Amino acid sequence: MDEQRRLRIAIQKSGRLSEKSLDIVHSCGIDFNADGRVLREVASNFPLEFLFVRDDDIPTYVADDVADIGIVGRNEVDESGYELEVVRDLGFAACRLSIAVPEGFRYEGLKSLEGRRIATSYPRILSGILEDNGVKATLVTVSGSVEITPTVGIADCICDLVSTGTTLRMNGLREVEAIYHTSAVMVCRPGFRQDGEKAAILDRLLLRMDTVNNARKKKYILFNLPADRIDDAARIVGGMKSPTVTPLLDRSWVSVQSVIAEDRFWSVFEDLRAIGAEGILVMPIEKMSD
């Protein structure tokens, strides 16, 4: 296949985002090898090429046209300073950028950071927030192992990503304030979506992603109901054009099928029971178009 006709996607090689990023592509029925050592891969049944790279580099790759799209934390996009378009907010790998202090550091809000040395891998995001709050501090930029900096004396406290908080605890640091929240997004260059052939491949990919995603948030529901309660059932189930109603052999009963949002399931279930529904079956949906 002509190289130009493939969409190039940058995905984190290994780390917080990797597995879910690959899951998304797999769930779209796209087959490829994810060996972990091969840094460039081509899908066998879809015009998609993968670049497996460090997450910090993904915004640059997308901005510089090395990759067309990327799956990365919003924090890396904001920290890069590149103006990228968020194609989808994927929501996974949620974590926060927090201030953490060692034993004995009295923290009473951002003003406690005045004049202090703060180690971070996110100087752009942190300096923006400090500036908004009128706090002047010295930022010590490090690219990793931020947690060690207070112990070795090059910083008074840190500002780093926290997910479970284990890393902080294990390094004797206390999380005192979350200043920024982040999760995974899919990004492209501004204007890319008007870019003809490749943009059309992205649209195909997004249609598949949205179809899988829609299905995950929904459940298929099937139940028997006294025929004279159909209007009540339609009101309870709601949110769709009309439930499918099939007569049963016993004409005073019907079978009803519909799709409901997963998060409404228990309230719908209880209300249906209250109007005499029986044999309520709930099934997962694998794929669902709009």
* 112/121 with CB nearer ligand PRP: 121
What angle separates helix 196-216 from helix 18-27, to the nearest 10 degrees? 100
Does 60 participate in binding ligand PRP (rule CB under 6 A)?
no
Nearest Cα residue to 197 out of 52, 64, 23, 1: 1
CA angle 258, 259, 265 (to 5 degrees): 110
* 163/244 with CB nearer ligand PRP: 163
Least distance between ligand PRP and beta carbon 161 (Å):
4
Rg (CA), the chain: 25
143 binds, among ligand PRP, Zn ion, none (CB under 5 to 8 A by kind): none
Measured CA to CA, the distance from residue 278 to residue 29 in angstroms comes to: 36
User: Which part of the chain contacts Zn ion (CB under 5 A), choosing from 1-9, 48-56, 57-65, 182-190?
Assistant: 48-56
153 binds, among ligand PRP, Zn ion, none (CB under 5 to 8 A by kind): none
Measured CA to CA, the distance from residue 258 to residue 219 in angstroms comes to: 8
Show the beta-strand stretches assigned E in the chain: 7-12, 40-42, 48-53, 69-73, 85-89, 95-102, 117-120, 138-141, 157-162, 173-182, 184-188, 218-226, 244-247, 253-261, 278-284
Q: Indicate the SS3 state at residue 20.
A: helix
Does 125 participate in binding ligand PRP (rule CB under 6 A)?
no
Footprint (CB under 6 A) of ligand PRP, residues 165-194:
165-167
User: Which part of the chain contacts ligand PRP (CB under 6 A), choosing from 2-10, 31-39, 99-107, 164-172?
Assistant: 164-172
Measured CA to CA, the distance from residue 259 to residue 290 in angstroms comes to: 12
User: Which part of the chain contacts ligand PRP (CB under 6 A), choosing from 108-116, 161-169, 185-193, 262-270?
Assistant: 161-169
**Residues present in the chain in total:** 290
9 binds, among Zn ion, ligand PRP, none (CB under 5 to 8 A by kind): none
Does 160 participate in binding ligand PRP (rule CB under 6 A)?
yes
* 17/113 with CB nearer Zn ion: 17
* 71/212 with CB nearer ligand PRP: 71
Q: How many residues bind Zn ion (CB under 5 A)?
A: 2
Enter the tokens of residue 69: 């799209």
Show the site string, 52-91: x = touches Zn ion by CB under 5 A, - = not. Answer: ---xx-----------------------------------
Measured CA to CA, the distance from residue 64 to residue 55 in angstroms comes to: 15
User: Which part of the chain contacts ligand PRP (CB under 6 A), choosing from 100-108, 154-162, 193-201, 218-226?
Assistant: 154-162
Residues that bind ligand PRP (CB under 6 A): 15-16, 55, 144, 146, 160-167
